[in-house]
Amino acid sequence: MTGAADGAAAGRGGLPEALLDEVRALRGEVAELRRALGIASGDPFLCRRDGARRYRVSLRQWDRMRHQPGFPRPITVGGRPRWRLSDLEAYENGSA
């Protein structure tokens, strides 16, 4: 007995090869979405709370700020607004 579930060939770390194939496919899809949205691979996203913490303001003040002209538009991820850190940094530097 090899220890692999249901006789599936074990891949890296003892995980079934089929599961590893699914992970590889999902990574490819994520990479395609990042390219389509113009997101650098290491570009983190900030939620409302993280944005408010970054600027040391309340959530209410953050919500006011985000509606100001020139403020970066959020990207909706899972139905929730997220801001690219690079967009916020560009806004801070006046190049947005």
Token digits of residue 44: 């983190």
pTM for this entry: 0.56
Token digits of residue 88: 């916020």
Q: Is 16 left (phi over 0), alpha (psi -120 to 50) or beta?
A: beta
pLDDT in tens, the chain (96 residues): 444 445 456 666 677 888 888 888 888 877 777 677 766 667 788 999 999 999 999 999 999 999 999 999 999 888 899 999 989 999 988 865
